[in-house]
Amino acid sequence: MAGLFESTGEGSAAIALDEIEASILRSLEVQMLELIGPGPGADSDDPLAALFAEGPTEAPSDPALRRLFPDAYGEPGTAADEETRAAASEFRRYTELDLRARKREDALAVVKAIDGLGGEGGKLELEAGDCPRWLGALNDLRLTLGSRLEVTEEDEEGLYALPDGDERKPLVMAYLWLGGMQESLIEAMTG
C-alpha cells in the first residue's frame, strides 16, 4: 500500500506513507496554502464583515491560480465578449473567497493528518467524510503542478519519458505520484 490508498470499507480509506513521502506531501500542501493565501478582501477579523465580503472581480494573473480559480463563463483560452466578462466577474466576486477558504481547509486537513504521524512515516486512516477533502487537496496540487509544467493532454504521456537530467523531472515525478494517489483514493472511496 506504500504511497497509494486502499479501501477500508464504507467510503473510508488508508494510505501508508514513508517518511520521505509524508515530508514531500506535507511540503507541497504547505506551498499550496502559501499560493492560495487569504485572498483579496478576506483579511477581516469581523465575522459579519467576512460574511458580506466581496471577492475580486478579475481572474488572477498567476497561471496556477487561474487554473485553481477559473472564470465560470466563457471558453478557456478564447477572448470573451463584454457580456461574458461581466458575468464571469460577477460570479467570481461572490464565490472566490469561499472557494479559497475551502481549498485552504482541504490543504490544511492534509497537513494536520500528516503532522499526526509525528514527522515519521506511517499509516493514515481517513474516515469517509475526510476522503473528499483529501481528493480536493490532491486535485489542487495536480492542477497547480500541471499548470507550472504546462502539461496538456497531448504531452502527458511524454512525461514518463523525460530524461533524468531534465530539471522538470522532480515536479513531473510529484505530478505523476499525486495522480496515482488521486486515482487510488477514488477507487478506495467507491470500492
- What pLDDT shows up at residue 47? 62
DSSP state, residue 141: H
**What CA dihedral angle connects 140, 141, 142 and 146, to 10 degrees?**
100
- What pLDDT shows up at residue 1? 42
Which one-letter amino acid corresponds to residue 181? M
Reading the chain (191 residues) residue by residue, the pLDDT tens digits are 467 999 999 999 999 999 999 999 999 999 999 999 875 555 556 666 555 677 788 888 899 999 999 988 888 777 778 998 899 889 988 889 999 999 999 999 999 999 999 888 899 999 999 999 999 999 999 999 999 999 887 777 788 888 889 999 999 999 999 999 999 999 999 98
